[in-house]
Amino acid sequence: MNKGRFIVFEGIDGSGKSTQLKLLGRRLRERNLKVYETAEPTDQPIGSLVRRILRGELQCVDPALAALFAADRLQHLADPDTGLLKLIKEGVHVICDRYYFSSYAYQSVRAPMEWIIQANALSAQMLKPDLNLFLDVPVKVCLQRLSASRGNLELYEAEANLAAVREKYFEAFSRLKQEEAVQIIDGRGSPEEVAEAVWQAVGRLFETDDPDQ
């Protein structure tokens, strides 16, 4: 049996990741492929703890939060029943909203990137994405989209911080260009236009797939 692909959407908050994830999921299912849509932080116990910290309900020092993101990721990957490694081995295609590049970018605004990369080394060893898709949208546009869709902005959503995160993403892509597959997608168009650009980037990864296998 063919292994499943692993496609990750990256981008700053409001860049359209979850919208594009759903559109790609629909497109793959229309081709009768087995698809699992997921996101980090997860809705499992460690991810739920992370979300409470992001909402400001609990306090946590930066290095501890970085370690919690890494721990949530390891559970997401290696859970014996529901983990991504198991699904991919069974031939399911996994599309994921955020993975370790999110940690490299967000957590390295206030800590050395090298440390964050080290903290996620086990995940990178266990599962590298077949493709990281970075949806590139200007910070101001992202903030307009977010404030139109919800009231309260979270911990990382201040304008200056998102601008710094965007810079860190590009620093991480450049630093890891030998070992990571990354494609930058212009995310400023309509959802349908961006979905077309996403398909141009990922479609070839599914060309050889026989859904009946």
Closer residue to ligand TYD, CB minimum distance, 14 or 187: 14
Radius of gyration of the chain (CA): 17
14 near ligand ADP, rule: CB under 6 A: yes
* CA dihedral sign of residues 141, 95, 128, 72: positive
Q: Is residue 157 within the footprint of ligand ADP (CB under 6 A)?
A: no
Contacts of 130 (CB under 8 A, 6+ apart): 5, 6, 7, 181, 205
By the rule CB under 6 A, 97 interacts with ligand TYD: yes
Count CB-CB contacts under 10 A for residue 153.
15
Q: Is 51 in the site for ligand ADP (CB under 6 A)?
A: no
Which listed option, ligand ADP, ligand TYD, none, makes contact with residue 98 (CB within 5 to 8 Å by class)? ligand TYD
The number of helices, as runs of H, and strands, as runs of E, in the chain is 10, 5
Residue with tokens 């370690």: 67
Q: Is 149 in the site for ligand ADP (CB under 6 A)?
A: yes
Note whether 194 binds ligand ADP by CB under 6 A: yes
Q: Are 97 and 38 in contact, with CB atoms under 8 Å apart?
A: yes
Out of ligand ADP, ligand TYD, none, which partner does residue 103 contact, by CB within 5 to 8 A per kind?
ligand TYD
CB-nearer residue toward ligand ADP: 125 or 149: 149
Smallest distance, Å, CB 213 to ligand ADP?
A: 32
CA distances from 153 to 15, 134, 160 (A): 14, 22, 13
Please tell me whether residue 16 binds ligand ADP under the rule CB under 6 A: yes
Cα 84 from Cα 82, distance rounded (Å)? 7
Q: State which of positions 147-206 bind ligand TYD (CB under 6 A).
A: 154, 156
Per CB under 6 A, residues contacting ligand TYD are 13-14, 17-18, 40-41, 54, 69, 97-98, 102-103, 106-107, 154, 156
Per CB under 6 A, residues contacting ligand ADP are 11, 13-19, 145, 149, 190-191, 194
